[in-house]
Structure 1
Amino acid sequence: MNYTLHQLQIFLKIAELKSITKASEVLNLTQPAVSIQLKNFQDQFPIPLTEVVGRKLYITDFGEDIAKAAEQIINHVHAINYKTLSFQGQLSGRLKISSASTGKYVMPYFLSGFMKENPGVELNIDVTNKSRVIESLELNEVDFALVSVLPEKLNVNKVELMQNRLMLIGSTKLDLKKWRSKKQLFENYPLIYRETGSATRNAMEKFILKNNFSVHKKIELTSNEAVKQAVISDLGCSIMPLIGIKNELKNKDLQIIPVKGLPINTTWNLIWLKSKKLSPVAEAYLDFLDAQKDYIIKNEFSWIDF
């Protein structure tokens, strides 16, 4: 056996995602490079690690066992690296954060300075929808979660980061003069929704219900970026977080449609379980936020208050 740490990391990611294509994207490698490393790794075992049925990749039972062993090896390697840095007087360890999908426009700005100050810290961010974010927090898979709506059934601590403003957004190709009222616009022009489980969708549905709008033309997309591109192309309009459309507003690809009752204002909160024993890295990050949060908001997000 002569497999490398690099091959273990690649196989573990393939086993997690059940896809060579997705693994290559996450690892920032080309698909052929990942395929070659997988083949070189598999060739060292007398039993198959993967199998392809139809066009779908499956991990064999033996492959699952090897993936678990690979994860343990990689964790031990990380532990060695962290101990080395610790002896050198550097903060070291992992910081794991799960973020609601639109939080990707927020969270990096609150992490950049901390990561530059602490090069020994390894950052892991999972960007997904609200349901999965809460699940990862509940299962203790992450240190922190970024949400705009606090979970009702979990005991959590929180740090308020900044305001999240949701507005009705349309393409600049949309001629608002053709519509007699905003009610008519909501009820007759296509409305683009996020997928079920999205906090943005929940807020949008509550607003529509509160105003007794009857939506007849509905389109559902599974990411904020997909919704944004659909709105730009004039496929429909949508209620979206202002935070994610700065450049599109500046370039006049999108317009804010004034509607009574909007914007919907929520708050981005960084939350963690009250029962969780935070690592030194997580504690240090909270100290960083306490000292730098206001400065970051002022320098990076003052444009929101127009």
Structure 2
Amino acid sequence: MNYTLHQLQVFLKIVETKSITKAANELYLTQPAVSIQLKNFQDQFDIALTEVLGKQLYVTDFGKEIAGMAERIIQEVEAINYKTQTYKGILSGRLKLAIVSTGKYIMPYFLTGFIKHNPAVDLTMDVTNKAMVISSLENNEIDFALVSLLPDKLQVEQEILLENHLYLVGNKEEKFSSKPYKRSIFDSLPMIYREAGSGTRSVMENFLEKSKITVKKKMELTSNEAVKQAVIAGLGYSIMPLIGIHGELVNDSLQIIPVEGLPARSTWRLIWLKNKKLSPTAWAFLEYIRKNKIEILHDNFGWVEEFNKE
């Protein structure tokens, strides 16, 4: 057999995506190029790695076995590269993060300086819903997770990053007073919710329940961006994190409606499994955050505190 590392990488991506087209897109290759690599790899085995039924590609049991071994081979090759960099005095390795969708407004600012000073570090960051983030953490698939609410059943360590403030938000079609409204204002507002399980949804529902407020639920959407666009379009109102609507407040496409008891609060925090043995790369990142957090907050999130003083 004479398969190449590139063939292993292509095959793993096909197994992951279960599609030649999707694999080609993610690898920035043409579809014919991926098909050729798969054929060349398959030609070295007497047993089928994949099969196509209808228009769907399936990975055979044998193919799954080969994929598992291919993944271990690639990990060993990466380890060789990282070890070589380490002997040169260069921090290297893979930093794996999973963050909830609203966290995309925060996490890049804590990563930029670290990656810039450590270009040999490979970053993997999955931006997804809270359930998937917690699942990745529980299965020890990542180094750190970024969440606004701590998981109920996991023992974790944490590093506090930033306080999260949530306000009632609407578009600019209707004029509202700058004086805080009674909580009864919710009686007349159609509300847009995040999906069940999201941190934003939990904070919103906690505020409504504690305030004994019953609202008219207009719709439920699966991302902060979707909720934001729905509010801008005039489909309803929502309680949203300030961190995710700064641009829309500045360009005057959204407004905050002051209400007694708001903003609701939670805390953005970086968490990792208790007793987890962090890699040198993960430890270096954690130390970087601890050393530079105040400066990062001042340079990139000073507007949050200024806004909350208004």
> What's the TM-score, normalizing by structure 2?
0.87
Deviation at 1:51, TM superposition (A): 3.8
Are positions 1:302 and 2:302 aligned together? yes
Deviation at 1:138, TM superposition (A): 1.8
| 8 Å contact from structure 1 (residues 101, 129) kept in 2 | yes
Q: Secondary structure in 1 aligned to 2:11?
A: helix
Are positions 1:237 and 2:237 aligned together? yes
Note the 1:52-67 alignment, pairs <5 A.
52-53=52-53, 56-67=56-67
Q: Secondary structure in 2 aligned to 1:287?
A: helix
Of 32-41 and 203-212, the range deviating more from structure 2: 32-41
Of 5-14 and 190-199, the range deviating more from structure 2: 5-14
Which amino acid is the alignment partner of residue 225 of structure 1? E
Aligned to 2:289: 289
Aligned to 2:259: 259
Q: Secondary structure in 2 aligned to 1:204?
A: helix
Which amino acid is the alignment partner of residue 256 of structure 1? I
Deviation at 1:304, TM superposition (A): 1.1
CA distance in 1, matches of 2:216, 2:14: 42
Q: Residue by residue, what CA displacement relative to the aligned partner does 1:123-178 show, whole Å, maximum 9, x if unpaired?
A: 1111222222222222211111111112232222211111111111112234448x
CA distance in 2, matches of 1:6, 1:20: 15
Q: Secondary structure in 2 aligned to 1:217?
A: strand
Aligned to 1:150: 150
Of 288-297 and 58-67, the range deviating more from structure 2: 58-67
Note the 1:152-191 alignment, pairs <5 A.
152-176=152-176, 186-191=186-191
Are positions 1:113 and 2:106 aligned together? no
C-alpha RMSD over aligned residues: 2.6
| 8 Å contact from structure 1 (residues 174, 234) kept in 2 | no
Shift in alpha-carbon separation, 1:116–1:139, aligned structure 2, 3 A: same
Note the 1:75-90 alignment, pairs <5 A.
75-90=75-90
Structure 1: gaps of 5 or more residues: none
Aligned to 1:50: 50
Shift in alpha-carbon separation, 1:96–1:264, aligned structure 2, 3 A: same
| 8 Å contact from structure 1 (residues 166, 262) kept in 2 | yes
| 8 Å contact from structure 2 (residues 204, 239) kept in 1 | yes
Q: Secondary structure in 1 aligned to 2:159?
A: strand
Shift in alpha-carbon separation, 1:171–1:94, aligned structure 2, 3 A: same
Q: Residue by residue, what CA displacement relative to the aligned partner does 1:173-206 show, whole Å, maximum 9, x if unpaired?
A: 34448xxx76565344332111122111111112
Shift in alpha-carbon separation, 1:236–1:3, aligned structure 2, 3 A: farther
Structure 2: gaps of 5 or more residues: none
Shift in alpha-carbon separation, 1:83–1:165, aligned structure 2, 3 A: same
Aligned to 2:124: 124
CA distance in 2, matches of 1:267, 1:130: 14
Q: Residue by residue, what CA displacement relative to the aligned partner does 1:89-146 show, whole Å, maximum 9, x if unpaired?
A: 1111111111111111111110111111111211111122222222222221111111
Q: Percent identity?
A: 62
Deviation at 1:29, TM superposition (A): 5.5
Of 18-27 and 293-302, the range deviating more from structure 2: 18-27
Which amino acid is the alignment partner of residue 95 of structure 1? L
| 8 Å contact from structure 2 (residues 193, 217) kept in 1 | no
Shift in alpha-carbon separation, 1:41–1:166, aligned structure 2, 3 A: farther
CA distance in 1, matches of 2:21, 2:224: 22
Q: Between Structure 1 and Structure 2, how many residues are aligned?
A: 303
Are positions 1:272 and 2:272 aligned together? yes
Of 68-77 and 16-25, the range deviating more from structure 2: 16-25
Of 14-23 and 80-89, the range deviating more from structure 2: 14-23
Q: Residue by residue, what CA displacement relative to the aligned partner does 1:7-47 show, whole Å, maximum 9, x if unpaired?
A: 43233233224455654565456667656655665565554
| 8 Å contact from structure 1 (residues 12, 71) kept in 2 | yes
| 8 Å contact from structure 2 (residues 203, 265) kept in 1 | no
| 8 Å contact from structure 2 (residues 183, 259) kept in 1 | no
Deviation at 1:210, TM superposition (A): 2.1
Are positions 1:14 and 2:19 aligned together? no
Q: Secondary structure in 2 aligned to 1:235?
A: coil
Deviation at 1:214, TM superposition (A): 2.4
